[in-house]
Structure 1
Amino acid sequence: MSTDTAGTADPAERPAGDADRRREQRGWYFYDFACSVYSTSVLTVFLGPYLTSIAEAAADADGFVHPLGIPVRAGSLFAYAVSVSIVVAVIVMPVVGAAADRTGRKKPLLAAAAYTGATATACMFFLDGDRYLLGALLLIVANASISVSMALYNAYLPQISTPEERDAVSSRGWAFGYTSGALVLVLNLVLYTGHDSFGLSESEAVRICIASAGVWWGAFALVPLRRLRDRRVVRGDGGAAGEGAVGSGWRQLLATLRDMRRHPLTLSFLLAYLVYNDGIQTVISQASLYGSAELGLDQTTLITAVLLVQVLAVAGALGMGRLARRYGAKHTILASLAVWTLILAAAYVLPSDAPVFFYVLAAAIGLVMGGSQALSRSLFSHLVPRGKEAEYFSAYEMSDRGLSWLGPLVFGLGYQLTGSYRDAILSLVLFFVVGSALLARVPVRAAVAAAGNPVPERV
């Protein structure tokens, strides 16, 4: 870890050379490989339609369920649960990030978050009948856990890669994630379409597909947990960095927020990212629900469409990484946001019961999804003051997942008020338009220099 006024890394804890750095990078990639299956199989494909069907089975004659006595349209439950999970993550992530930077022990915290989420996902096997409350609770726990774990995981990026490597390393991580997502979706497709031949009901097949994502997540998380190293940190005053780390978590959070005011250009990027990524995350989490409920597509079509997204996202992430080396990450991200806007406009007019058009839309999403997220992560890594990676990446993750509660909330309210998912999807265009405008105004080279980091040739 580099030094700053906040702390100094023990020289003995620094990588010995390129071989050690490459080994950590290869281990780092595997956390994307482990947890991306949750995002694809669970959040994007199966859980939205399945949890909605459970809620509909428990609904009253008017189509409402009543968690904690609150009337909620059954079709909005999934979106609302996603929003609640993000609020939980907002509360937890900054404290965990501050503790990680103060102690230098990100790995135990990463393990705790990963296995909490993996366990909650595996327990979704027990969702059947009208257990919509159990489903909502497990979704909240799993989704909050993956947000916390990703904040810690992303904080390793500036420690395991040089400034010139980061676009490529970040893009490879996303490519690993999409590769695992595609592989598991193939297995899901075989099990789901052939559930009768396996002696399973449709519901049992879906629950196995969902729960197996938790098992996969927990199993492959062992690879990064073995290869990534904690960096011991010593405070500038000579005290042990871990002193009072837990008890002072909230005080450290306030200190982090005050410190971020010293880096207004970094904050400007975070604001832009908060807005446009809110749209991206909402599209990802609500796509299957839109396809099944509004477009009338069957589960097999949805699985194969998401599989197409995963396959093309590998090429998209690597391809956009190459474009960033030529044109800079900022301009490449702006181009991808223009494509996202066109995708949503096309989704609004997409005809029902037309799987071919849905596949075309899925292909377009795949080509821009991985690259826009990977390049945003690597661009932000240049804007982080040295020695404060976990704290600042907690703020980034709050923008990536933790503050992305508005999109699902708007989507859910749109359906609750109008009964039309088309009206709900149209509202998301605003996130990409406003986010693009905010990002265009950020002078990224000046922002990198202001954070005290070397400015790459293209950024």
Structure 2
Amino acid sequence: MSAGTIPGGAGPADGFADLTAVDRRRQQRAWNWYDWANSAYYTTVLSVMFGPYLATVAGRAAGCASGEDPCSRTVSVLGIPLAAGSLPLYVTTFATIVSAFLLPVVGAFVDRSPRKKMHMAWTAWAGAFFCALLFFVKGDDWQLGVVTVVLSSVLAGCSLVSYYAILVDISTEEERDGASSRGWAWGYLGGGILLALNLVLFLGHRSFGVSEGMAVRVSLLSAGLWWAGFTIIPVLRLRNYAPRGVVPARGTLVERSFGQLITTLRELRAFPMTLTFLVAYLFYNDGIQTVLYAAAIYGDKQLHLSQTVLIATILMIQFVAFGGALFFGRMAARHGAYRLILTGVLIWMVVVIAAMFLPARNAVLFAILAIVIGVVMGGTQALSRSFFSLLIPRGREGEYFALYNAAERGTSWFGMLLFGLVFQFSGSYRPAVAALVVFFVLGAVFLRRLDPEQGIREAGNAVPGAA
């Protein structure tokens, strides 16, 4: 048994019951720091900087002239010709598919480990290392960018499997919504602060005496350093917790991992409410991710807003989401996470329909809609994580959260496909945005089929008072 590991067993020693409320809150504060740490990667790298930069670097290799945007000439990836301008999308899609297959196996391993925080740490530090290597992507060396971003993205997903599983060890059912909401809020704040600093460097690169490309490379490097550096805090402060309720398995580590994966997939039939929520989350989360990705395109190409307005809006969403996560967390204490998630999905329906009718060049209305997006985005994402934790049988946290992440990562391209197809056939981004309402409608339909109390009891967890 490793130092600091709390032994499992029956009664109060099993789980979080042996921790006082003060001690649990201290552990939750330490846990929040990893949201702060990894959000820098998702905001600065994946959401803002990496895609346009890789397209530019690949465009040079393809022979596109400076200012030719987007570049339709191709580069060869394993013998397959791909348009330079589309390369970032293909790379991200490939990373999500790899993650969808890998994460359940990682989750099975995490459930059997008494050192969850160290698995989180080592995968985080490895991911941050590959993220930092993006600094060396320059000229026409797009291959290094492809390899490093795929590895960093997959490793980030692996670290989150352990991170989410730890939430169950450090909080009671009653505390889960608040703990998850504070974590998401902390993540939005940390990611927003670094993104703001990087955008200052990027927009004022001449004042700092660096080229635009160097400003991007420094920003990518800063995300890796931020991610690695702040991960040290939860590693030092979090405890390790012994695995509980793990089904005995034989064979090698890989055989045991796949064996538990198969067992979990079979068990899902015995937890219909858990499966129903996973399907609902698959749909409405896909809609959320697509809206966030398409917002800049819609604002630029359809509403003809300036880059200054769009950048300011991106930052505003990050900081508004900080407050939105905390607000939804407090409301969940009164009304329950399930009701707040369903309310959030209904608000998303209104958002995408309203976006269709936004007048061009009206920055004020665009900003108002962005504020609504920030509030509801922070709330729905935070409460989805905590609510799903209540639908997981004890000892299966890593495996089930791996399925949760796999559902998110492996299908998050459906929304972009629909968005692109509607634009291609209509020639306008307005109906393309409105078409995304289908994902929220389907999410709401499955949520309405869910009985939260039944699902929580079936998983063997206590029903929070506001559920």
8 Å Cα contact 1:93/1:148 also seen in 2: yes
Q: Choose which of 204, 210, 225 in structure 2 pairs with 1:200.
A: 210
* 1:48 is aligned to 2:51: yes
C-alpha separation in 2, matches of 1:57 and 1:114: 32
Q: 1:449 aligns with which of 457, 460, 466?
A: 457
Tell me if structure 2 keeps the 8 A contact 1:57–1:129: yes
Count of paired positions: 451
Post-superposition offset of 1:137: 3.0
Distance 1:348 1:202, change over 3 A: farther
For 1:164, the aligned partner's letter is E
The superposition leaves residues 33-58 of structure 1 with CA deviations (integer Å, 9 ceiling, x where unpaired) of: 00111222222222233333334444
For residues 349 and 60 of structure 1, what CA distance do their matches in structure 2 show? 39
Is the CA contact (8 Å cut-off) linking 2:14 and 2:244 kept in structure 1? no
TM-superposed deviation, 1:313: 0.8
Displacement of 1:196: 0.8
Query: For 1:160-187, what per-residue CA distance to the aligned partner results, in whole angstroms no more than 9, with x for missing partners?
Result: 1111111111110011111112221231
Superposed CA offset, 1:247-287 (max 9, x none)? 42212211111122211111111111111111112333444
Change (3 A) 1:139 1:427: farther
Question: Contact conserved, 2:44 with 2:191, CA < 8 A, in 1?
Answer: yes
Distance 1:425 1:263, change over 3 A: same
2:197 is matched with which residue: 164, 187, 191?
187
The residue identity in structure 1 corresponding to 2:74 is: V
Letter in 2 for 1:63: S
**Cα distance in 1 for residues equivalent to 2:462 and 2:398:** 19
Q: Which residue of 2 aligns with 1:264?
A: 272
The code of the aligned residue for 1:345 comes to: I
Structure 1 stretch 287-296 or stretch 211-220: which is displaced more?
Answer: 287-296
Question: Are 2:134 and 1:131 equivalent residues in the alignment?
Answer: no
**1:98–1:249: 8 Å Cα contact kept in structure 2?**
yes
**In 2 relative to 1, CA 333–184 (structure 1 residues): closer, same or farther, beyond 3 Å?**
same
Per-residue CA deviations over 1:283-342 (Å, capped at 9, x if unaligned) read 334444554555555554333211101111111111112222222222211221122223
- Asked if 1:31 corresponds to 2:34, the answer is yes
CA contact (8 A) 1:52 1:75 kept: yes
Q: Larger deviation: 60-69 or 396-405?
A: 60-69
Instruction: Say whether the 8 Å CA contact 2:245–2:394 is kept in structure 1.
Output: no
Structure 2: unaligned runs, 5 residues or longer: 1-6, 65-70
Listed as ranges, the gaps of 5+ residues in structure 1 are 1-6
SS in 1 for 2:78: helix
Name 2:115's counterpart in structure 1: 105
- Following superposition, the deviation at residue 244 of structure 1 comes to 3.7
1:20 aligns with 2:23: yes
Which structure ranks higher in relative contact order (CA pairs < 8 Å, sequence separation ≥ 6)? 1
Q: In 1, are the aligned partners of 2:120 and 2:162 still within 8 Å (CA)? A: yes
> Given that residues 165 and 401 in structure 2 are in contact (C-alpha distance below 8 angstroms), is that contact kept between their aligned partners in structure 1?
yes
Segment of structure 1 superposing worse, 119-128 or 378-387: 119-128
Q: 1:242 Cα deviation (Å)?
A: 10
1:243 Cα offset (Å): 7.7
C-alpha change, 1:26 and 1:273, in structure 2 (3 Å) is same
Q: What residue number does 2:151 align with?
A: 141
**In 2 relative to 1, CA 79–273 (structure 1 residues): closer, same or farther, beyond 3 Å?**
same
- Structure 2 counterpart of 1:65, which letter? T
Distance 2:224 2:55 in 1: 20
Displacement after TM superposition at 1:28 (Å): 0.4
Deviation at residue 236 of structure 1 after TM alignment: 7.3
Quick check: 2:8–2:14 contact (8 Å CA) kept in 1?
A: no
| Residues 236 and 96 of structure 1, relative CA distance in 2, 3 Å threshold | closer
Q: Give the SS at the match of 1:458.
A: coil
**TM-score under structure 2 length normalisation:** 0.87
Distance 2:442 2:370 in 1: 23
Q: Secondary structure at the match of 1:456?
A: coil
Please report how far the alpha carbon of residue 364 of structure 1 lies from its aligned counterpart in structure 2 after TM superposition.
Answer: 1.8
The letter of the residue matching 1:201 is: S
Partner amino acid for 2:124?
Answer: A
Aligned positions of 1:27-106 closer than 5 A: 27-59=30-62, 63-66=72-75, 67-106=77-116
Deviation at 1:206, TM superposition (A): 1.9
Q: Which residue of 2 aligns with 1:255?
A: 263
Counterpart amino acid of residue 385 in structure 1: P
| Aligned counterpart, 1:3 | none
Residue 422 of structure 1, CA deviation? 5.2
Residues 316 and 348 of structure 1: CA distance in aligned 2, closer, same or farther (over 3 Å): same
Match of 1:315 among 323, 332, 336: 323
CA RMSD across the alignment: 2.8
Whichever residue aligns with residue 385 of structure 2, its letter is R
Shift of the 34–242 alpha-carbon distance from structure 1 to 2, 3 Å rule, reads farther
Q: What secondary structure does 1:103 align onto?
A: coil
When the two structures are superposed, what TM-score results if normalisation uses the length of structure 1?
A: 0.89
State the alpha-carbon separation in 2 of the partners of residues 126 and 286 from structure 1.
Answer: 28
1:189–1:300 CA contact under 8 A, matched in 2? no
Q: Percent identity?
A: 46
